[in-house]
């Protein structure tokens, strides 16, 4: 990536950034991830000055909650798989799980511990790997930053977050999708764009999430009311156990997530990017990074990660109302303020913005995707990439234009396919 600071180490591998942490990984009882570390590391990579890093910390620093109490008795029992499993999805146990994973990493190294708790195929690893996709990909993003900057403390935090996340029944959804894939493994895999169209065309899937489900549209909406129908479609996405195909499908995933963000607009309203789909783009950078970890993650596991990423992306498309997509909106995007801006102009602008790091992460992910997808744009896979060429810069500019000088809660649109989501006074043209 042509950034101010390249992908690489921030500190030596012995540093535990969580060792003396006083704060919870969650801001609220439901959702509300503490992602200040995401913001700081992203801004660092984009070239932030020490003062800018301090300012970006203060953007969200006041929202942090105290670390929950350490359950010393439970900490000594977490090696028992039954006790570990019984205490998952309990946010009050975050510190206990964090100290447990720190101990394990100190003894064995972070790669060995991540492998044991995500890829060993044990019952705990099966549950933990599913939970990494919950919380809008935040545990995966956390792990990706740990890998990128070689920070074992962040790896411990990522695992502890996955262990204590809200449970949205994503494990159940993955199981249904993978059962469907195995039952019909003779069918050709479909492109992600084709599957997006099929999701929208299915009334059973499209109407499963309801506005009244509020923040539980995945568990109470899609999984509960449309899970089987969704699995029949999402199970059609499969990746062959081949490094070249994994690379191509990774580019396809990146481009399609970006397409959703740029193409779902509401007539008569201001341009906005969906909050949930924004996370799909942000997470795509780290999914690409994980796909390249050949030395310690098997090809089979990296393929499974990517298949689950795409199925989660499709699930969030459905949860956001499966809106129609305007393929011409992003190619024709123009804004008097940012027309002609370069990537460096965007970096400099976003580093000065009061934000929680989402805009900076999104812009950085767009630049990474532009470079990752470039090799596939002109060949036979070009038709699988709806976002290509200068559309990446246009999408990044759109992100800045629609979030600048805006309070954090109003920078994005939530559940873009529901008319109710667009009824905010600030969205009137």
pLDDT tens digits, the chain, 429 residues: what are they? 334 444 433 333 333 344 456 888 887 776 688 889 999 999 999 999 999 999 999 888 777 888 999 999 999 999 999 999 999 999 999 999 999 999 999 999 999 999 999 999 999 999 999 999 999 999 999 999 999 999 999 999 999 999 999 999 999 999 999 999 999 888 888 899 999 999 999 999 999 999 999 999 999 999 999 999 999 999 999 999 999 999 999 999 999 999 999 999 999 999 999 999 999 999 999 999 999 999 999 999 999 999 999 999 999 999 999 999 999 999 999 999 999 999 999 999 999 999 999 999 999 999 999 999 999 999 888 999 999 999 999 999 999 999 999 999 999 999 999 999 999 999 998
Q: Which of 115, 146, 141, 111 has the alpha carbon at shortest distance from 128? A: 115
Paired tokens of 5: 């600071």
Residue 158 near residue 143, CB atoms below 8 Å: yes
What letter would DSSP give residue 189? Answer: P
What letter would DSSP give residue 103? Answer: H
Is residue 169 left, alpha or beta, with left meaning phi > 0 and alpha meaning psi from -120 to 50? Answer: left
What letter would DSSP give residue 1? Answer: -
The pTM of this model reads: 0.94
Other Cβ atoms closer than 10 A to 268:
9
Q: How far apart are CA 19 and CA 16, in angstroms?
A: 5
> Cα dist. 374→192, 217, 289, 297, 362 in Å?
18, 35, 16, 25, 18
């Amino acid at each position: 990536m042509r950034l101010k600071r390249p992908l690489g180490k921030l500190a030596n591998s012995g540093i535990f950034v969580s060792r003396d942490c006083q704060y919870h990984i969650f801001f609220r009882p439901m959702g509300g991830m503490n992602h200040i570390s995401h913001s700081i590391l992203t801004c660092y990579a984009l070239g932030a000055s020490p003062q800018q890093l301090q300012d970006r910390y203060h953007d969200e620093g006041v929202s942090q909650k105290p670390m929950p109490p350490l359950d010393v008795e439970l900490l000594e029992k977490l090696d028992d798989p039954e006790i570990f499993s019984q205490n998952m999805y309990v946010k009050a146990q975050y510190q206990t799980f964090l100290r447990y994973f720190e101990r394990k990493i100190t003894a064995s190294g972070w790669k060995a511990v991540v492998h044991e708790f995500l890829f060993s195929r044990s019952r705990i690893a099966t549950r933990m790997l599913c939970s990494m996709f919950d919380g809008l990909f935040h545990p995966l993003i956390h792990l990706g930053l740990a890998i990128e900057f070689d920070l074992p403390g962040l790896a411990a935090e990522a695992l502890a977050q996955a262990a204590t996340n809200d449970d949205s029944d994503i494990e159940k959804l993955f199981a249904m999708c993978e059962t469907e894939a195995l039952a019909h493994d003779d069918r050709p895999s479909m492109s992600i764009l084709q599957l997006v169209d099929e999701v929208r065309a299915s009334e059973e899937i499209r109407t499963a999430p309801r506005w009244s489900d509020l923040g539980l549209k995945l568990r109470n909406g899609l999984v509960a009311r449309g899970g089987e129908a969704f699995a029949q479609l999402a199970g059609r996405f499969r990746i062959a156990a081949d490094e070249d195909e994994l690379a191509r499908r990774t580019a396809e995933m990146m481009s399609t997530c970006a397409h959703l963000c740029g193409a779902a607009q509401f007539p008569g309203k201001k341009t906005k990017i969906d909050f949930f789909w924004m996370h799909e783009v942000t997470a795509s950078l780290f999914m690409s990074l994980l796909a390249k970890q050949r030395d310690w993650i098997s090809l089979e596991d990296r393929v499974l990660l990517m298949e689950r990423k795409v199925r989660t992306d499709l699930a969030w498309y459905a949860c956001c109302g499966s809106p129609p997509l305007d393929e011409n909106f992003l190619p024709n995007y123009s804004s008097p303020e940012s027309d002609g801006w370069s990537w460096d102009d965007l970096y400099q602008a976003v580093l000065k913005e009061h934000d929680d790091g989402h805009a900076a992460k999104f812009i950085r992910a767009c630049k990474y995707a532009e470079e990752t997808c470039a090799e596939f744009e002109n060949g036979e896979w070009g038709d699988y990439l709806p976002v290509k060429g200068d559309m990446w810069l246009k999408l990044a500019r759109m992100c800045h234009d629609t979030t600048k000088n805006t309070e954090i809660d109003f920078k994005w649109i939530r559940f873009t396919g529901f008319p109710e989501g667009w009824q905010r006074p600030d969205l009137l043209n």
